[in-house]
Amino acid sequence: MTNHWVKKHWIKRISLVLTVMLGLLTIGITPSRAAGEITLYTPYTSIAVTPGESINYNVQVINNTGAVQETALSVRGLSADWEYQLTAGGWSLQRIAVLPNEPQSVSLQVEVPLEINKGTYRFELVAEGKASLPLAVQVTEQGTFKTELTTEQPNMEGHSNSSFNFNATLRNRTAEKQLYALTANAPQGWDVQFQVDGKSVTSVSVEANEAKDIDITVKPPEGVTKGSYKIPVKAATTSTSASTEFEVVITGSYDVELSTPTGLLSTDVTAGSERNLTLTVTNTGSADLRDITLSANTPVDWEVTFEPKQINKLEAGQSTEVTATIKASDQAIAGDYVVNMKASSPEASSEATFRVSVKTSMLWGWLGVLIILGVIGGVYYLFRTYGRR
């Protein structure tokens, strides 16, 4: 009885196993699509961009089967303000057929909107339910639909004779090409010039979502006083505009004057001799002057030397005296000559023109007198000796 029970038990178990196997075979009678018929591949699935940029994905469509696979391609998950285009072989693409072991390249171009919030945006490239390629775009800045005029260095300082060179970037964040008029609301007397690509301009054209560098040269007027000055600059069209502000800090004015203690700019000298002339160098500016050198432009074979030759520092409003030694040429004849003298520093300079009268040497005068007397004596001797004959 025991053996009979064991046989019956094993028969039931074998029957159950056969039933399960038959059920599995029955399920497998209807063939299903093998997983992974198509693979979509691109190396850059998550990238960071700024608003308005254009992204170009190079996607490989790979056929994993032994037969030709045809599928429709589409993008899913992008909002209406994003634009995209699928192309291959120079054509817009909707469906693609792929041979086994011959991947096809597809270009997916996605336009990031200009007006968009900062954040991460996800979407998919879909191959008609056979495959999908998840993609992510991180927008790193808050997007705008406007014009931007920016600068990295809005502040400069220097003396009153300086030129201040600024650089600004004009970015067109609109959807159309714009022609901007460039203006500056500088204080009266200030000169502001704009340059783009090395050329002076008063307007500049900028394509949509592109930028132009603008060089801005600011020159203060003569006699400008020490202080801080604001220079507002604007780029504008009929529909959009942007502005920024530059600051120029004038540290002081630089000016120097060369003269004499009495203001008299004339002297005299004997040919071949020297004459000492006292000069006055005055700092008439509001900032200290350093390394003031003195020089002269003289007639041929004349010489001018200075003591001291250089003034290391001259404070604002102060004066100092310099001795100029003028040596006239030995061959100089009587008359008036011009000697130009100059005091110059790296920041300012001044010239003074001196009239120098040359007198002949007294020795030559006495020699002339003696010659005349000799001639008169000779004539008198001849007259006395031969006059009675």
Domains in the chain: ranges and CATH: 38-139 (2.60.40.10), 147-250 (2.60.40.10), 256-363 (2.60.40.10)
Closest CA to 82 of 121, 48, 57, 113: 113
Q: Does the pLDDT at position 19 exceed 60?
A: no
State the pLDDT at residue 34: 39
Summarised one tens digit per residue, pLDDT across range 49-97 is 988 889 999 999 999 999 999 999 999 999 988 999 999 998 999 999 9
Closest CA to 301 of 265, 270, 272, 338: 272
Alpha carbons 37 and 263: distance in angstroms, whole number: 102
Sequence-distant (6+) residues with CB within 8 A of 299 are 329, 332, 337, 338, 339
Summarised one tens digit per residue, pLDDT across range 145-157 is 889 999 999 999 9
State the pLDDT at residue 5: 46
CA distance readout (Å), 358 to 199, 272, 336, 338: 54, 10, 6, 11
State the pLDDT at residue 96: 94
Alpha carbons 256 and 281: distance in angstroms, whole number: 7
* pTM exceeds 0.85, yes or no: no
State the pLDDT at residue 1: 43
Task: Identify whether the C-beta of residue 149 lies closer than 8 Å to the C-beta of residue 170.
Answer: yes
Q: In the numeric block, which tokens belong to residue 93?
A: 């693409």
> Exposed/middle/buried for 112, CB within 10 Å: 0-12, 13-18, 19+?
buried
What is the mean pLDDT of the segment spanning 360-376? 67
Least confident of 120-134, 311-325, 346-360: 346-360
Q: In the numeric block, which tokens belong to residue 244?
A: 């920024």
